[in-house]
C-alpha cells in the first residue's frame, strides 16, 4: 500500500484527491493536513464524504509517508517545504504552480519534473518530485502536442477556453459568488494567463522552432466544473492525415480520446478523460478539447502521476465514468 499525506486539505483539489483515493486499491490515506480545520471531520469541509470516511483533519505532519500531495494554492508550496522536512524517500506531487516552469524546477536540491504523462511519462516514472500541470494548460497542451510533434505549428494559435467556478478555488470571491456567476459569463487575463508559460515550454519541447503567439482568451463559465476549449490555427495537412497523427501520438495514452464528431463537456466531467475533436475548415484546423478541471486538470492527473511513480498501471483507481444527464 502507498501511504499518503495531503497538505492543504480543505480545498477542492484535496476533496477530489480524497474522493478518488478512497477507492484506489493501492492507496492508504495517512493524514489530511489543514490548520483551519484541525480536529474536525473531513466531511465538515467536504460534505460529499459524509458517511463514507471516518477521519479528521490534523495540523501535524507525518514526515515518513510514501507520497505527499501539496494542495496549498499557488506560491505557497515553496514556503511549506522550506518549513517542513519530509524523509528522503518521500515523493512529492505539487498541485500548485511553484515548480512548473523550467526556471523553478529545482528547489533545495529537489528537481521537479513537469507532470503531464502524455508528454513526460518516462521521466515521471523515475521522478521523486512532480509539478502537476495547470488545468487550462492540460486541456490546451493535449490539444496541440500532436501538431508540435509533427512540426506543424507554423502560425499563431487562437485559443478560447471556458472553465467552471471551481477553477478559482474554494475561497469565495466576487466572481465566484452565485449571484454574480449564475446566468453570467466573462473573460479574464486575456492574452497573459499564467498557464501560457508552461504551455509554451511543452510545445518547444517537441517543436523548438515554434515562436508564434498563443492568443488565449480564458472565460469564466456559470457552471461548477469542466473546461471547454476551442483552438484554431493554419494547417495545410488534410483532416485524414491530422487525425492519423493525433491517433498515433495518443495510441498508448489511456485517458485521451480523438474523434471527428462533435463533443461536449458532460462527456468528461467527474473523470480523468480528455476528449479531442478535430475539424478542418479550409486551411484551418479547429480543435476542441474537454476535461474536468478538478480531475484531469488537477487531482486525477496527480494520482495518474503517483501511479507512474510507484510502478502501477497509470489508470489504477481512475476508471471513472461521467454522467451525461
Q: Is residue 321 part of a domain?
A: no
Q: What is the CATH number of the domain that holds 27?
A: 3.40.50.720
Based on the domain organization, do 194 and 303 belong to the same domain? no
The pLDDT, as a whole number, for residue 204 is: 96
Based on the domain organization, do 152 and 264 belong to the same domain? yes
Range of the domain at 150: 135-293
Based on the domain organization, do 83 and 56 belong to the same domain? yes
Based on the domain organization, do 225 and 248 belong to the same domain? yes
Total structural domains within the chain: 2
Q: Is residue 25 part of a domain?
A: yes
Q: What are phi and psi of 120, to 5 degrees?
A: -125, 35
The pLDDT, as a whole number, for residue 22 is: 95
Q: Is residue 244 part of a domain?
A: yes
Based on the domain organization, do 272 and 139 belong to the same domain? yes
* pLDDT, mean of residues 103-121: 96
Based on the domain organization, do 18 and 53 belong to the same domain? yes
Q: Is residue 41 part of a domain?
A: yes
Based on the domain organization, do 247 and 279 belong to the same domain? yes
Smallest Cα–Cα separation from 131: which of 111, 145, 146?
111
Q: Is residue 216 part of a domain?
A: yes
The pLDDT, as a whole number, for residue 175 is: 81
Judge whether 274 counts as a catalytic residue: no
Q: Is 274 helix (H, G, I), strand (E, B) or coil?
A: strand
Q: In angstroms, rounded to a whole number, what is the distance separating the alpha carbons of residues 56 and 44?
A: 9
Based on the domain organization, do 235 and 177 belong to the same domain? yes
Smallest Cα–Cα separation from 143: which of 281, 253, 246?
246
| Residues 254-282 pLDDT 10s | 999 999 999 999 999 999 999 999 999 99
The answer to whether residue 148 scores a pLDDT higher than 90 is: yes
What band does 166 get if pLDDT is binned at 50, 70 and 90?
confident
Q: Is residue 324 part of a domain?
A: no
What band does 171 get if pLDDT is binned at 50, 70 and 90?
confident
The pLDDT, as a whole number, for residue 25 is: 98
Q: Is residue 194 part of a domain?
A: yes
* pLDDT, mean of residues 295-307: 98
Number of CB atoms found within 10 A of residue 182's CB: 10
Based on the domain organization, do 85 and 203 belong to the same domain? no
| Residues 177-236 pLDDT 10s | 787 888 899 998 889 888 999 999 999 999 999 989 999 999 999 998 999 999 999 999
pTM recorded for the entire structure: 0.95
| Residues 49-99 pLDDT 10s | 999 999 999 999 999 999 999 999 888 999 999 999 999 999 999 999 999
Based on the domain organization, do 202 and 127 belong to the same domain? no
| Residues 223-246 pLDDT 10s | 989 999 999 999 999 999 999 999
Q: What is the CATH number of the domain that holds 173?
A: 3.30.360.10
Based on the domain organization, do 91 and 52 belong to the same domain? yes
Q: Give, to the nearest 10 degrees, the angle between helix 12-21 and helix 300-309.
A: 50
Q: In angstroms, rounded to a whole number, what is the distance separating the alpha carbons of residues 219 and 229?
A: 10
Q: Is residue 127 part of a domain?
A: yes
Least-confidence region, from 123-127, 187-191, 281-285, 298-302? 187-191
Amino acid at each position: 500500500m502507498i501511504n499518503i499525506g495531503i497538505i492543504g486539505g480543505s480545498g477542492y483539489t484535496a476533496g477530489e484527491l480524497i474522493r478518488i483515493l478512497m477507492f484506489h486499491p493501492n492507496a492508504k490515506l495517512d493524514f489530511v493536513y489543514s490548520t483551519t480545520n484541525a480536529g474536525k471531520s473531513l466531511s465538515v469541509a467536504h460534505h460529499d464524504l459524509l458517511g463514507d470516511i471516518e477521519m479528521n483533519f490534523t495540523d501535524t505532519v507525518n514526515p515518513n509517508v510514501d507520497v505527499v500531495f501539496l494542495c496549498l494554492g499557488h506560491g505557497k508550496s515553496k514556503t511549506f517545504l522550506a518549513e517542513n522536512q519530509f524523509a528522503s524517500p518521500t515523493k512529492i506531487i505539487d498541485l500548485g504552480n511553484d515548480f512548473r516552469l523550467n526556471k523553478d524546477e529545482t528547489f533545495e536540491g529537489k528537481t521537479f519534473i513537469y507532470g503531464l504523462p502524455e508528454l513526460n511519462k518516462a521521466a515521471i516514472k523515475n521522478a521523486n518530485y512532480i509539478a502537476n500541470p495547470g488545468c487550462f494548460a492540460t486541456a490546451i497542451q493535449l490539444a496541440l502536442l500532436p501538431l508540435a510533434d509533427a512540426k506543424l505549428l507554423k502560425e499563431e494559435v487562437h485559443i478560447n477556453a471556458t472553465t467552471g467556478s471551481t477553477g478559482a478555488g474554494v475561497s469565495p470571491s466576487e466572481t465566484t459568488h452565485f449571484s454574480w456567476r449564475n446566468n453570467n459569463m466573462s473573460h479574464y487575463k486575456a492574452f497573459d494567463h499564467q498557464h501560457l508559460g508552461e504551455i509554451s515550454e511543452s510545445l518547444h519541447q517537441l517543436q523548438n522552432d515554434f515562436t508564434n503567439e498563443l492568443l488565449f482568451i480564458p472565460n469564466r463559465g456559470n457552471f461548477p466544473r469542466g473546461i471547454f476549449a476551442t483552438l484554431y490555427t493554419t494547417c495545410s495537412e488534410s483532416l485524414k492525415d491530422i487525425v492519423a497523427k493525433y491517433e498515433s501520438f495518443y495510441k498508448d495514452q489511456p485517458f485521451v480520446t480523438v474523434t471527428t464528431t462533435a463533443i461536449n463537456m458532460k462527456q468528461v466531467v467527474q473523470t480523468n478523460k480528455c476528449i479531442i475533436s478535430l475539424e478542418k475548415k479550409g486551411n484551418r484546423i479547429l480543435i476542441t478539447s474537454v476535461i474536468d478541471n478538478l480531475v484531469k486538470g488537477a487531482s486525477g492527473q496527480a494520482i495518474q502521476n503517483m501511479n507512474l511513480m510507484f510502478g502501477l498501471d497509470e489508470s489504477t483507481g481512475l476508471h471513472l465514468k461521467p454522467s451525461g444527464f
